[in-house]
Protein backbone atom coordinates (compact mmCIF):
# COMPACT_ATOMS: atom_id res chain seq x y z
CA UNK A 1 0.00 0.00 0.00
CA UNK A 2 3.03 2.28 0.16
CA UNK A 3 2.44 3.12 -3.51
CA UNK A 4 -0.55 5.19 -2.42
CA UNK A 5 1.85 7.43 -0.52
CA UNK A 6 2.47 7.82 3.19
CA UNK A 7 0.93 11.29 3.22
CA UNK A 8 -2.26 10.46 1.36
CA UNK A 9 -4.43 11.41 4.35
CA UNK A 10 -2.73 14.79 4.58
CA UNK A 11 -4.56 16.01 1.48
CA UNK A 12 -7.72 17.84 2.58
CA UNK A 13 -10.04 16.50 -0.12
CA UNK A 14 -9.08 12.91 0.68
CA UNK A 15 -9.78 13.48 4.36
CA UNK A 16 -13.13 15.14 3.62
CA UNK A 17 -14.09 12.26 1.35
CA UNK A 18 -13.22 9.64 3.96
CA UNK A 19 -15.19 11.50 6.65
CA UNK A 20 -18.23 11.74 4.36
CA UNK A 21 -17.87 8.07 3.42
CA UNK A 22 -17.64 6.96 7.04
CA UNK A 23 -20.71 8.95 8.06
CA UNK A 24 -22.63 7.71 5.02
CA UNK A 25 -21.75 4.07 5.70
CA UNK A 26 -22.82 4.40 9.34
CA UNK A 27 -26.13 5.99 8.38
CA UNK A 28 -26.72 3.45 5.64
CA UNK A 29 -26.16 0.42 7.82
CA UNK A 30 -28.22 1.89 10.69
CA UNK A 31 -31.13 2.44 8.32
CA UNK A 32 -30.44 -0.86 6.50
CA UNK A 33 -30.17 0.83 3.14
CA UNK A 34 -29.96 -1.83 0.43
CA UNK A 35 -27.75 0.28 -1.82
CA UNK A 36 -25.24 0.98 0.97
CA UNK A 37 -25.12 -2.67 2.00
CA UNK A 38 -24.68 -3.72 -1.63
CA UNK A 39 -21.85 -1.25 -2.21
CA UNK A 40 -20.11 -2.39 0.99
CA UNK A 41 -20.29 -6.04 -0.06
CA UNK A 42 -19.09 -5.13 -3.55
CA UNK A 43 -16.06 -3.38 -2.08
CA UNK A 44 -15.18 -6.24 0.25
CA UNK A 45 -15.56 -8.84 -2.49
CA UNK A 46 -13.40 -6.73 -4.83
CA UNK A 47 -10.56 -6.77 -2.30
CA UNK A 48 -10.54 -10.55 -1.85
CA UNK A 49 -8.82 -11.41 -5.19
CA UNK A 50 -6.07 -8.85 -4.52
CA UNK A 51 -5.56 -9.24 -0.78
CA UNK A 52 -5.70 -13.01 -0.45
CA UNK A 53 -5.52 -14.57 -3.93
CA UNK A 54 -3.07 -12.00 -5.38
CA UNK A 55 -4.94 -11.93 -8.69
CA UNK A 56 -5.27 -8.15 -8.78
CA UNK A 57 -3.13 -5.22 -7.72
CA UNK A 58 -4.46 -4.08 -4.33
CA UNK A 59 -3.66 -0.43 -5.01
CA UNK A 60 -5.54 -0.52 -8.33
CA UNK A 61 -8.54 -2.08 -6.59
CA UNK A 62 -8.49 0.55 -3.83
CA UNK A 63 -8.38 3.31 -6.44
CA UNK A 64 -11.36 1.77 -8.27
CA UNK A 65 -13.43 1.84 -5.06
CA UNK A 66 -14.17 5.51 -5.70
CA UNK A 67 -17.19 4.23 -7.66
CA UNK A 68 -19.04 2.52 -4.75
CA UNK A 69 -17.80 5.26 -2.38
CA UNK A 70 -19.33 7.96 -4.58
CA UNK A 71 -22.62 6.06 -4.73
CA UNK A 72 -22.75 5.71 -0.93
CA UNK A 73 -21.96 9.40 -0.36
CA UNK A 74 -24.55 10.41 -2.98
CA UNK A 75 -27.14 8.26 -1.21
CA UNK A 76 -26.39 10.03 2.08
CA UNK A 77 -26.58 13.49 0.53
CA UNK A 78 -29.90 12.60 -1.04
CA UNK A 79 -31.14 11.41 2.35
CA UNK A 80 -30.10 14.74 3.87
CA UNK A 81 -31.94 16.63 1.12
CA UNK A 82 -35.08 14.56 1.68
CA UNK A 83 -34.89 15.25 5.41
CA UNK A 84 -34.56 18.99 4.82
CA UNK A 85 -37.65 18.90 2.62
CA UNK A 86 -39.62 17.71 5.62
CA UNK A 87 -38.41 20.62 7.74
CA UNK A 88 -40.13 23.95 7.34
CA UNK A 89 -37.03 25.92 6.35
CA UNK A 90 -37.07 29.09 4.30
CA UNK A 91 -36.76 28.38 0.58
CA UNK A 92 -33.58 30.47 0.36
CA UNK A 93 -31.92 28.30 3.01
CA UNK A 94 -32.95 25.03 1.36
CA UNK A 95 -31.80 26.06 -2.10
CA UNK A 96 -28.63 27.66 -0.79
CA UNK A 97 -27.23 24.64 1.05
CA UNK A 98 -26.02 22.78 -2.05
CA UNK A 99 -24.21 25.79 -3.58
CA UNK A 100 -22.68 26.53 -0.16
CA UNK A 101 -21.37 22.98 0.13
CA UNK A 102 -19.92 23.09 -3.39
CA UNK A 103 -18.33 26.46 -2.66
CA UNK A 104 -16.67 25.19 0.51
CA UNK A 105 -15.33 22.11 -1.28
CA UNK A 106 -14.05 24.25 -4.15
CA UNK A 107 -12.30 26.62 -1.74
CA UNK A 108 -10.79 23.64 0.04
CA UNK A 109 -9.49 22.31 -3.27
CA UNK A 110 -8.05 25.68 -4.32
CA UNK A 111 -6.30 26.03 -0.97
CA UNK A 112 -4.83 22.52 -1.30
CA UNK A 113 -3.57 23.35 -4.79
CA UNK A 114 -1.52 26.25 -3.49
CA UNK A 115 -0.61 24.78 -0.09
CA UNK A 116 0.66 21.38 -1.21
CA UNK A 117 3.65 21.00 -3.55
CA UNK A 118 3.19 19.01 -6.72
CA UNK A 119 5.19 15.79 -6.53
CA UNK A 120 7.35 15.43 -9.62
CA UNK A 121 8.20 11.76 -9.97
CA UNK A 122 8.10 11.19 -13.70
CA UNK A 123 10.05 8.46 -15.42
CA UNK A 124 11.35 10.73 -18.17
CA UNK A 125 13.45 13.89 -17.78
CA UNK A 126 14.97 16.43 -20.21
CA UNK A 127 18.36 14.84 -19.54
CA UNK A 128 16.96 11.48 -20.62
CA UNK A 129 15.80 13.04 -23.88
CA UNK A 130 19.33 14.30 -24.56
CA UNK A 131 20.64 10.78 -24.01
CA UNK A 132 17.93 9.45 -26.35
CA UNK A 133 19.11 11.84 -29.05
CA UNK A 134 22.61 10.41 -28.68
CA UNK A 135 21.26 6.86 -28.96
CA UNK A 136 19.26 7.71 -32.07
CA UNK A 137 22.17 9.44 -33.79
CA UNK A 138 25.17 7.43 -32.64
CA UNK A 139 24.20 3.86 -31.78
CA UNK A 140 23.13 1.06 -34.16
CA UNK A 141 19.39 0.67 -34.65
CA UNK A 142 19.43 -3.08 -34.05
CA UNK A 143 21.04 -2.95 -30.59
CA UNK A 144 19.18 -4.27 -27.55
CA UNK A 145 19.27 -2.42 -24.22
CA UNK A 146 19.16 -3.60 -20.64
CA UNK A 147 17.23 -1.10 -18.52
CA UNK A 148 16.21 -0.79 -14.89
CA UNK A 149 13.34 -3.14 -14.09
CA UNK A 150 10.74 -2.85 -11.35
CA UNK A 151 8.51 -5.81 -10.48
CA UNK A 152 5.02 -5.52 -9.02
CA UNK A 153 4.82 -7.39 -5.68
CA UNK A 154 1.68 -9.31 -6.60
CA UNK A 155 3.25 -10.96 -9.68
CA UNK A 156 6.63 -12.48 -10.48
CA UNK A 157 6.50 -11.57 -14.17
CA UNK A 158 4.60 -8.26 -14.35
CA UNK A 159 7.33 -5.64 -14.65
CA UNK A 160 7.89 -2.11 -15.87
CA UNK A 161 10.91 0.14 -16.26
CA UNK A 162 11.79 2.31 -13.27
CA UNK A 163 13.38 5.21 -15.18
CA UNK A 164 13.60 6.82 -18.62
CA UNK A 165 14.80 3.54 -20.11
CA UNK A 166 11.16 2.44 -20.12
CA UNK A 167 10.59 4.94 -22.96
CA UNK A 168 13.47 3.81 -25.16
CA UNK A 169 11.38 1.67 -27.57
CA UNK A 170 8.93 4.50 -28.27
CA UNK A 171 11.35 7.42 -28.47
CA UNK A 172 14.42 5.79 -30.02
CA UNK A 173 12.94 2.75 -31.77
CA UNK A 174 15.40 0.53 -29.88
CA UNK A 175 14.59 -2.81 -28.30
CA UNK A 176 14.81 -3.25 -24.52
CA UNK A 177 14.32 -6.16 -22.15
CA UNK A 178 11.13 -4.79 -20.59
CA UNK A 179 7.87 -5.93 -22.25
CA UNK A 180 4.57 -4.03 -22.46
CA UNK A 181 2.55 -4.42 -19.25
CA UNK A 182 -0.15 -6.27 -21.19
CA UNK A 183 2.18 -9.04 -22.39
CA UNK A 184 0.67 -11.55 -19.93
CA UNK A 185 -2.57 -11.34 -21.94
CA UNK A 186 -0.79 -11.84 -25.26
CA UNK A 187 0.91 -14.70 -27.06
CA UNK A 188 4.68 -14.95 -26.84
CA UNK A 189 6.84 -16.73 -29.39
CA UNK A 190 9.28 -18.15 -26.85
CA UNK A 191 7.93 -20.64 -24.26
CA UNK A 192 10.65 -19.69 -21.76
CA UNK A 193 10.13 -15.93 -22.13
CA UNK A 194 8.62 -15.58 -18.65
CA UNK A 195 11.57 -17.41 -17.06
CA UNK A 196 14.05 -15.19 -18.92
CA UNK A 197 12.19 -12.13 -17.68
CA UNK A 198 12.39 -13.39 -14.10
CA UNK A 199 16.12 -13.94 -14.51
CA UNK A 200 16.68 -10.45 -15.86
CA UNK A 201 14.80 -8.89 -12.96
CA UNK A 202 16.71 -10.96 -10.40
CA UNK A 203 20.08 -10.10 -11.98
CA UNK A 204 19.18 -6.45 -12.69
CA UNK A 205 21.38 -5.33 -9.80
CA UNK A 206 24.10 -7.92 -10.47
CA UNK A 207 25.00 -7.37 -14.11
CA UNK A 208 28.73 -7.41 -13.35
CA UNK A 209 28.49 -10.90 -11.83
CA UNK A 210 29.29 -14.03 -13.83
CA UNK A 211 25.58 -14.89 -14.02
CA UNK A 212 24.70 -11.37 -15.10
CA UNK A 213 27.35 -11.27 -17.83
CA UNK A 214 26.27 -14.68 -19.09
CA UNK A 215 22.67 -13.51 -19.31
CA UNK A 216 23.64 -10.35 -21.21
CA UNK A 217 25.52 -12.41 -23.80
CA UNK A 218 22.77 -15.00 -24.03
CA UNK A 219 20.12 -12.33 -24.62
CA UNK A 220 22.33 -10.45 -27.11
CA UNK A 221 22.21 -7.25 -25.05
CA UNK A 222 24.70 -4.69 -26.31
CA UNK A 223 24.07 -1.68 -24.06
CA UNK A 224 22.97 -0.76 -20.54
CA UNK A 225 20.89 2.38 -19.96
CA UNK A 226 20.66 4.04 -16.55
CA UNK A 227 18.21 6.95 -16.50
CA UNK A 228 18.02 9.99 -14.24
CA UNK A 229 15.41 8.41 -11.97
CA UNK A 230 17.54 5.28 -11.62
CA UNK A 231 16.77 1.87 -10.21
CA UNK A 232 18.49 -1.38 -9.34
CA UNK A 233 21.38 -1.02 -11.80
CA UNK A 234 24.16 0.96 -10.13
CA UNK A 235 26.69 2.80 -12.30
CA UNK A 236 29.42 2.22 -9.72
CA UNK A 237 29.18 -1.55 -10.12
CA UNK A 238 29.60 -1.33 -13.89
CA UNK A 239 32.36 1.29 -13.77
CA UNK A 240 34.49 -1.14 -11.80
CA UNK A 241 34.16 -3.92 -14.38
CA UNK A 242 36.22 -4.37 -17.54
CA UNK A 243 33.16 -5.84 -19.25
CA UNK A 244 31.44 -2.45 -19.50
CA UNK A 245 32.56 0.67 -21.34
CA UNK A 246 31.04 4.12 -20.80
CA UNK A 247 29.88 5.59 -24.11
CA UNK A 248 27.68 8.35 -22.68
CA UNK A 249 27.78 10.10 -19.33
CA UNK A 250 25.66 12.95 -18.03
CA UNK A 251 25.42 12.12 -14.33
CA UNK A 252 23.33 10.43 -13.11
CA UNK A 253 22.60 9.16 -16.64
CA UNK A 254 24.93 6.53 -18.09
CA UNK A 255 25.03 4.42 -21.22
CA UNK A 256 27.38 1.45 -21.05
CA UNK A 257 28.48 -0.75 -23.93
CA UNK A 258 28.76 -4.44 -23.08
CA UNK A 259 32.30 -5.54 -23.93
CA UNK A 260 32.43 -9.18 -24.99
**What pLDDT, in 10s, does the model give residues 227-252?**
999 999 999 999 989 999 999 999 89
Residue 62: which of 52, 41, 45, 47 has the closest Cα?
A: 47
Name the residue with higher pLDDT: 189 or 128.
128
pLDDT tens-digit map of 186-237: 777 777 888 888 888 888 888 999 999 999 999 999 999 999 999 999 999 9
Task: State yes or no: pLDDT of 10 exceeds 70.
Answer: no
Percent of the chain past pLDDT 70, that is, above it, reads 89
Q: Do 163 and 228 meet the contact criterion of CB atoms below 8 Å apart?
A: yes
Task: State yes or no: pLDDT of 172 exceeds 80.
Answer: yes
- Angstrom distance (rounded) from CA 244 to CA 11: 46
Mean pLDDT score across all residues of the chain: 85
pLDDT of residue 50: 67
pLDDT of residue 1: 44
The model's confidence at residue 4, banded by pLDDT at 50, 70 and 90, is: low
Q: What are the residue ranges spanned by the domains of the chain?
A: 2-115, 126-258
pLDDT of residue 160: 86
pLDDT tens-digit map of 26-52: 999 999 999 999 999 998 888 877 666
- Angstrom distance (rounded) from CA 148 to CA 177: 9
Average pLDDT over residues 135-140: 96
pLDDT tens-digit map of 66-122: 899 999 999 998 898 788 777 777 777 777 877 888 898 788 778 877 777 666 667
Chain centroid to Cα 78, Å, comes to 34
Task: State yes or no: pLDDT of 153 exceeds 80.
Answer: no
Task: State yes or no: pLDDT of 3 exceeds 60.
Answer: no
Give the phi and the psi of residue 29 in degrees, each rounded to 5: -70, -35
pLDDT of residue 170: 93
CA atoms within 13 A on the CB side of 25: 14
| pTM of the predicted model as reported, rounded to 2 decimal places | 0.66
pLDDT of residue 109: 78
Overall size of the chain counted in residues:
260
DSSP conformation letters of the chain: -GGG-TTGGGSHHHHHHHHHHHHHHHHHHHTT-HHHHHHHHHHHHHHHHHHTS--S-HHHHHHHTHHHHHHHHHHHHHHHHHHHHTS---HHHHHHHHHHHHHHHHHHHHHHHHHSPPP---S--HHHHHHHHHHHHHS-TT-EEEE-EEE-TT-SS-EEESSGGGGHHHHH--EESPPPGGGGGS--S-TTHHHHHHHHHHTTT-TTSHHHHHHHHHTT--EEEE-SS--S--HHHHHT-TTEEEEEEETTEEEEEEP-
pLDDT of residue 249: 95
The model's confidence at residue 166, banded by pLDDT at 50, 70 and 90, is: very high
Cβ–Cβ contacts within 10 Å for residue 16, how many?
14
- Angstrom distance (rounded) from CA 140 to CA 133: 13
Cβ–Cβ contacts within 10 Å for residue 242, how many?
7
Q: Do 28 and 38 meet the contact criterion of CB atoms below 8 Å apart?
A: no
Q: Do 1 and 51 meet the contact criterion of CB atoms below 8 Å apart?
A: no
- Angstrom distance (rounded) from CA 235 to CA 215: 18
Amino acid sequence: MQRLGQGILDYPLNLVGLILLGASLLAGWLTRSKIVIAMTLWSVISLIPSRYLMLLDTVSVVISLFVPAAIVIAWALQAVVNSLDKINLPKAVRFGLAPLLLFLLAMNGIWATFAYPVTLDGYLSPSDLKAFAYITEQLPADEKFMVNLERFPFSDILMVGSDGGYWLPLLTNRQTVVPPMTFTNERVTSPDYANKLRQMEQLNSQLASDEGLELLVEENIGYIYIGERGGQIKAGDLLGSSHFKVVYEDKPIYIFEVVQ
